[in-house]
Structure formats: structure tokens, C-alpha cells
Amino acid sequence: MKISNLLPLVLLLAACSKEEGGKAVTQAETRAFFMGFTAFPYDATTEAQMETYRKVADDGDLFLNHLDHGVPWNEALNDLPFPTEVQRTLDATKTGLAPNTKVLLTATPTDQTRGGLAAYWNDKGAHQDLPTYWEGKTFDDPEVILAYIKYCKRTIDAVRPDYFAYGIETNSAFRKGDVEFAAFLRLCEAVYTELKADYPNLPIFLTLQDRSFQNSHTELLETSKMLLQYSDYVAMSTYPFLDYGNLQRDADPALFDDNWLGDFRNLSPSKPFAISETGFCAENLVIANLGINVRATEAWQTDFVTKLFTTANHFEAEFVAWFVYRDYDMLYDKTPDPPDILKVWRDNGLLDGNGTARPAYQKWLEWKAMPRD
């Protein structure tokens, strides 16, 4: 998920499966995957943050701490204490989680465009301008690589996650022949090699996106294949209510392929599969400036949850992470001059903006109640 210019947010915090090929539907009795959420709050208040954290801790057995805020470049390179905002976010991750809750920690060296160097994260907040010293540096600059490796190690040591992604949606912006992509691959090789040496038992991976404005489907698969050299998992970010080739349509899950992630799963069948972030809108999404006019309903969101978990079971996924637990209408309304892109995921919650559970929430709980196989 790409969200820029947000208010600084502190992380204080059916049941049926379908076989491929149109075969008969059978009742699922177990789930292969852990399932959970981020603690993305519905309002810009401490109370909303804390309530969200408590709810997602209760309704999942996986917690996603999504560090898409930038990187404290100066502090990481020079072994200085992290800014208070950064350290507090890391320290809060496991607060209130059940002992058996898995923690997925994701960080990234890229900015919100997914094609440039990550912004600066400090006590002024997320996505601050890069200090002059870092401006113009490439992904394969030795100091960028060293600083990012140090940052990753410190975040891992602070959180002790069960899974660690060191890049978010890394295939979405680069083109195969780009100089920047070659530089990014060199960073990936260095970071992955160093982290696996120090944390051999920790799953370390990159996350991929299943669609891109910059690449055709074939091109996206090509860049993904190259990135998977430096990834333990095939971990997918997917929000299929948006079809980049047709931004004015019905978001009916029956209209897209049941096997919409199959091409990515097949890139590396020997590696574990996971869904690193996902969501589906439950209300109409109209953003005139972006040419988006998507019709959506709560019933279609429920259908997607069934389709999502059926797919995850079919691929024996390790985990599924739903991004927005409750619609963030109040947060959106309080954001000064909210960017259009912030509206895209506003109505992805399993709870609506008033906190009322949608039918998809009941479907979620049905799957949550199944034993993990």
C-alpha cells in the first residue's frame, strides 16, 4: 500500500475452498495460514490507535508492523540512537499481543513511488526530506547499502519478528532495463546476503505487487523473477478491486480470475507463498482526478474474503495480512488537504467507519476459528 503525506501515526498501539479447473466446491475444515492485520487507526487520536491495536490483537494470530515511513539514514549509518518516533514504533510492536501471535515486520529502502530512495524518518515525522548528504545517492551507493543493512539489523533486534521483509512492493515501479533497477538489485544482493548470514533461521524476503502501471503483466513477472533471487518467500501485495487496465468497473470478485496470483506463485514453486498485504473496498470508490470509478458492495467484499482464503489455502500460504481493519473516514476527514490516493483504501475495513461489523468480518471470524493445518 502506498500512502503519502499522512499525519504521523504511532503504532502504540464460505469458509469454503474451490479447487482449480471448475471442480466441485468443498467445505474447508482447516486453514494453512496465519491471518491478521496492521494497526492502521481509523482516527488520528491515541484512543483510536489503542482501540485498533486491541481489536487486531484479538481478531488475528498475525500482526503486521508496516515500516513504510522512510529510513533514519543518518542515525543508521553512524550508529546513533534512533529518533524517539522510530524507536517508540519498534518498541510498541509486541505490546498486548498473545504469546502465539506471529509478527511480520516489513521495511523498505524505497520511497512512496517505489522507485526512489526512501525519505527520512525522524522525530518530525514520516517522509521528511532527505538530508543534503543523502540527496542524489543511488541504491547501490556503499553508504546507502551499509546504512540500510544496519537499519534492518537494528529493527530485527528490536522487534524479534517471525518474518522480515526488507523491501515493499519492489517490482511495481522498476523496469527491467532501468539503471535504477540494476542498482536496486545490487542493494538487494548485499542486504539479503548479510541478513541471511546473521539471521539464518529468519524468513527474509521482498514483497511483490501483482499489478503495475509501469509494466505489462509479462514484464512484471520478469522483474519479479529477478528479485526472487534475493527472497525466501513469494510474498504478494494484492488489492484486486483496482484493475489498473480498467479503473471504471464493478469490483465483483466473480469478474476476475480465481487464480489471479497463480503466475506469481509459479515463479518459484519451491519457495513458501504468502500474502503480505491485501484489502477490498466495500463502498463505491470515485476519484475523478485519478480517473477511478469503481462500484463496490459489502457482499462483493465478503466474496473476496472467501476467494482470498480459498486461494491462500490452495497455495498453502504461510500468512495473509489484511491492511485496514476499520474504515478510516475520521482520519481522512481530519487530514489537511488529503491527497487523492489516501481515499483508495478508506473503505477497505472489515468494520465500517462507525465501527459496525460488515459481513466480511463474520466470514473472517469463520476462517479464524478453523484450526491451522
- Distance separating alpha carbons of residues 115 and 369, to the nearest angstrom: 40
Other Cβ atoms within 10 Å of 109 Cβ, number: 26
Per-residue confidence band for 1, with pLDDT thresholds at 50, 70 and 90: low
- pTM: predicted TM-score of the whole model, two decimal places: 0.92
Give pLDDT tens digits for 164-182. 999 999 999 999 999 999 9
Q: Provide the residue type at 44 as one letter.
A: A
- Distance separating alpha carbons of residues 165 and 233, to the nearest angstrom: 9
- Distance separating alpha carbons of residues 309 and 359, to the nearest angstrom: 15
Closest by CA to 275, choosing from 112, 25, 64, is 64
Q: What is the share, in percent, of the chain residues with pLDDT greater than 90?
A: 90
Is the predicted pLDDT of residue 6 greater than 50, yes or no?
no
Give pLDDT tens digits for 10-19. 333 333 333 3
CA angle 166, 171, 175 (to 5 degrees): 135
Does the CA dihedral 231-34-64-250 come out positive or negative? positive
- Distance separating alpha carbons of residues 367 and 360, to the nearest angstrom: 11
CB 165 within 8 A of CB 276: yes
Which whole number is the average pLDDT over 174-203?
97
